[in-house]
């Protein structure tokens, strides 16, 4: 059965462009032009994915996201937010409200389609119980292995000594490789009973973590103005 995507976008040209590329890849597409119409359509047809513009007439994309996440069933629909350039604060808010990913306008159709496929694929993996957090160990690009059962990290077989906070931070990012986490999300997830963590301290921990991972520190990517994520792949640095 074809996957269905709801596109909430008030700019006709962009909506048409997104629709064209989605249909070309075999998706069923429904369009909505306002926040309210999008919210109503999401609850009625429960699409497999929602592409949600932030700047919309009536309800903006952030409010649509907030309301959907309070809805019993529609809360599980993965959301890719679409923002204009320079609206990092909105992206951060969207991710903290539970959006899964985002693209920034102007985006290439190729980038958007890659995000769509990745978001749907990760959703399916989680439904099938292949989520990394169910496993005893997670292997990241570059041969970084997180042994979640024993709280050990190895790089190409060599054990790397991490602090408890560094370990939790890496394990948290590794729960959903490729997905951006904001500093505040990292703070909430990583803060332990023993550790007070500020959003700025996240940067310090990431820097230390990268240093300990050596060349493989590149596995943690900085997303400017937003946060951090695990790289989809490590391109070998030229020797």
Q: Which of 32, 37, 48, 53 binds Ca ion (CB under 5 A)?
A: 53
- Cα–Cα distance measured from residue 140 to residue 132, given in angstroms and rounded to the nearest whole number: 10
CB 77 within 8 A of CB 47: yes
- Residue whose C-beta lies closest to Ca ion: 55
Q: Is 55 in the site for Ca ion (CB under 5 A)?
A: yes
Q: Is 90 in the site for Ca ion (CB under 5 A)?
A: no
Question: What are the structure tokens assigned to 8, written together?
Answer: 């909430």
Q: Is 63 in the site for Ca ion (CB under 5 A)?
A: no
Q: How far is the CB of 84 from Ca ion (least distance, A)?
A: 8
Q: How far is the CB of 82 from Ca ion (least distance, A)?
A: 8
| Options 6-14, 85-93, 150-158, 163-171: segment touching Ca ion (CB under 5 A) | 6-14
| Options 17-25, 53-61, 68-76, 218-226: segment touching Ca ion (CB under 5 A) | 53-61
Residue 198: CB atoms within 10 Å: 11
Count of residues touching Ca ion (by CB under 5 A):
3
Q: Which of 10, 28, 126, 203 binds Ca ion (CB under 5 A)?
A: 10
Q: How far is the CB of 53 from Ca ion (least distance, A)?
A: 4
Q: Which chain residues interact with Ca ion by CB under 5 A?
A: 10, 53, 55
């Amino acid at each position: 059965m074809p996957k269905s995507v709801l596109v909430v976008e008030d700019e006709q040209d962009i909506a048409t462009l997104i629709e064209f590329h989605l249909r070309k890849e075999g998706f069923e597409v429904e369009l909505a032009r306002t926040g309210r119409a999008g919210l109503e359509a999401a609850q009625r047809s429960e699409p497999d994915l929602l592409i949600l513009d932030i700047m919309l007439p009536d309800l903006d994309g952030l409010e649509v996201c907030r309301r959907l996440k309070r809805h019993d069933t529609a809360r599980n629909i993965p959301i890719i937010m679409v923002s204009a350039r320079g609206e990092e604060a909105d992206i951060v808010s969207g991710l903290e409200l539970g959006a899964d990913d985002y693209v920034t306008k102007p985006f290439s159709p190729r980038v958007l389609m890659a995000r769509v496929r990745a978001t749907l694929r990760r959703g399916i993996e989680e439904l099938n119980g292949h989520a990394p957090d169910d496993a005893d160990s997670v292997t990241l690009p570059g041969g970084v292995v997180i042994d979640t059962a024993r709280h050990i990290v190895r790089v190409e077989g060599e054990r790397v000594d991490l602090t408890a906070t560094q370990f939790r931070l890496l394990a948290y990012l590794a729960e959903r490789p490729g997905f951006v986490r904001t500093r505040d999300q990292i703070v909430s997830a990583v803060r332990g009973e023993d550790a007070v963590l500020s959003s700025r301290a996240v940067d310090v921990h990431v820097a230390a973590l990268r240093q300990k991972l050596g060349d493989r520190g590149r596995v943690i990517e900085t997303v400017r103005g937003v946060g951090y994520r695990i790289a989809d792949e490590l391109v070998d640095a030229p020797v």
